[in-house]
Amino acid sequence: VPALATEPQFAQRLREHLEEEQLLDGRYRLQEVPGGRVALPVLEEKLSQLRLHQEMPYGLVWIQDPVPSRAARRQTPAQKLRDELRRLLGESWSEELERDVPRAWQRHGDLVLLSEDSFRAAPWEKLGPALWETVASALGARRLARRGRVLPDGMRSPSVTLLLGQDGWVEHVDNGIRYTFDVTKCMFSPGNITEKLRVASLPCSGEVLVDLYAGIGYFTLPYLVHAAAAFAHACEWNSHAVEALQRNLVLNGVQDRCRVHLGDSRQVSGADWPRPPGPHAASASPPLSFQLELRDIADRVNLGLIPSSEEGWPVACRVLKKGTGGVLHIHHNVETLPALALSQTPVLQAERGSPEGAGSDGEAQHPTEEGGKETLGARIRPEWRRWAEATAARIRELLAELHGQPWRTSILHVEAVKSYAPHVHHLVLDLECRPTLP
């Protein structure tokens, strides 16, 4: 950095003058340079404005390894970013621009992902690449990208613009699992970490998993790496996510225990789905052609699609083992009315011995409101209870239609993953599905 070197007896006067003229670079400490002189760092962009009295001897030097000042070490990243931008713009700085500077961002290794509403004011455009180089330097990043709105393409594709750098590939480590993906092509939701941790603790040894909406492997990998599933079928319709998923399977050494299916797993052929008896019986419209050639194979099915995975329920029923059944993990966004008095919230009850909501010992299993470990008699919000019961009933109907015999469904647990929007919660229903013995 540039600095003015002067004799020690003039250092204080020179410092006061530079501060008064707003030329002193407060990011760095004063340093001693060869010859016993003291060097005062100055702002490079303001060197042309330098006007000093002749009786104050000085010389321009360049400090190769400047030492950060105490004030600079105390600065938050947001403060440092703002100060660097103020120096870059000089007299063009305004309150409008300050409001446009982000105070939070996502960091993915050496890539920083800015919010979509940052740096939108017209004056920023005039700075060109210098703006993004300054932002990256202030935040300690080498690459920059800016978020846009999630595209309404059914794949939750991000609208992300790469501002600085050659590509958007980054890596995350969650619970010992490595995830790599391109931030400009794929979503990564840190809000799902609690569900990924829960999945990792499930007893899946020896089981076959079908993950109908695998993405980059958010849940497929915990099932394989930590929950010890024997094999997984990972279904995904986004080719960019599939590329990341295949990389992640290799990164975590489980590529030999997973088969990836590219295509829309929600679609099944009308010929494969049973039609109700009688010409006048009511039935849903026949589904489209089926792309996933799996049936009677899964001990466990993950349906991790929000706001609703309902279109995948028929496929989930089809891939469950028809002789023994299994467990469905059904994700859904449930609208919740503002809580009036949780103490008055009814408990999810099941009649003793009835298949709905009953565990293997006939006792009711109650989902909890806070996403913690289920407790007998725990209270949940009524909307969650109604959704869980309705889903269990619908899955039971689908299985009976598919196999031509009664099935029972048991609500094992309801997990509150996160608040998705005001009064909307992302929930997961663990639903056990078993054929009824004749």
In tens, the pLDDT along 74-87 reads: 778 888 899 889 88
The pLDDT assigned to 87 comes to: 86
In tens, the pLDDT along 151-164 reads: 555 555 567 899 99
Provide, rounded to the nearest whole percent, the portion of the chain with pLDDT above 90. 47
Q: Which residues are CB-neighbours of 113 under 8 A, at least 6 positions away?
A: 105, 106, 107, 145, 146, 147, 160, 183
The pLDDT assigned to 348 comes to: 40
The pLDDT assigned to 344 comes to: 40
In tens, the pLDDT along 244-298 reads: 999 999 999 999 999 999 887 765 444 444 333 333 333 333 333 345 789 999 9
pLDDT of 361 higher than 60:
no
Return the minimum-mean-pLDDT range out of 44-58, 173-187, 190-204, 344-358: 344-358
Q: Place 358 in a pLDDT band, splitting at 50, 70 and 90.
A: very low
| Between 54 and 65, the higher pLDDT residue | 65
pLDDT of 422 higher than 70:
yes
The pLDDT assigned to 283 comes to: 32
Mean pLDDT in residue range 433-438: 89
The pLDDT assigned to 373 comes to: 36
- What's the mean per-residue pLDDT of the chain? 81
pTM of structure: 0.69
The pLDDT assigned to 419 comes to: 85
Return the minimum-mean-pLDDT range out of 166-170, 264-268, 295-299, 380-384: 264-268
The pLDDT assigned to 44 comes to: 81
* CATH of 77-166 given 3.30.300.110, 3.40.50.10320, 1.10.3720.10, 3.40.50.720: 3.30.300.110
Question: Residue type at 389?
Answer: E
